[in-house]
Amino acid sequence: MVGVSGSGKTTWVNSHKQYTVCSTDAIIEELATSMGISYTEAFEYIQFKKKFDYITEKFFEKIRNCILHDKDFVIDRTHLKRNVRISLINELKTVAEENGRELELSAISFEIPEKIIFERLKTREKKTQKFIPKQVIYDQINSFNIPTNDEGFSYIERIH
């Protein structure tokens, strides 16, 4: 999945139940539920306690497990920058090769107008109390590199 927050990545994932979902947001949501707090409060807790390494470790552990057990999976994360995607793709291919696995990687790129993104985020905040500051979204929009096949993807679907 490639796209800014609020572009529809998680909605797409929720309508494609055949995939194992690998998501740092899901790990944060599980933490929030277990602590009886909101996603935003859990996110702030993670920042305060410097727990991002733990969240990232759990995220990659799930991906590695999918590769090792030949499970189809989807990574529900923004993946906005080309260099970050290439690094991740290379890491995943290395894990697959070292374990004698084949790995075909596709991208779903959510190239959604800014106005729609902010409308969706407002609706999501009302439903879930998950708040993302506007400046964070503008930073994401400004840093978004449209994915290309030469990054290592076999296929790219674009959603407008």
pLDDT, residue 68, reads 96
Query: Does the pLDDT at position 136 exceed 90?
Result: yes
Q: Which tens digit of pLDDT belongs to each residue from 6-56? A: 999 999 999 999 999 999 988 998 999 999 998 889 988 998 888 889 899
Q: Which tens digit of pLDDT belongs to each residue from 91-126? A: 999 999 999 999 999 999 999 999 999 999 999 999
Q: What is the C-alpha separation between 65 and 56, in angstroms, rounded? A: 14
Query: Does the pLDDT at position 129 exceed 90?
Result: no
Q: What is the C-alpha separation between 112 and 133, in angstroms, rounded? A: 18
pTM, two decimals, is: 0.87
Domain ranges of the chain: 9-159
Strand 20-22 to 155-159 pairing? unpaired
Fold of the domain built from segment(s) 9-159: Rossmann fold (3.40.50)
pLDDT, residue 89, reads 97
Alpha carbon of 51 to those of 31, 60, 96, 150: distances in Å? Answer: 11, 15, 27, 34
Q: What is the C-alpha separation between 59 and 29, in angstroms, rounded? A: 13
pLDDT, residue 130, reads 84
The DSSP letter of residue 2 is B
Q: What is the C-alpha separation between 156 and 110, in angstroms, rounded? A: 10
Q: Residue 146's closest CA among 116, 117, 114, 112?
A: 112
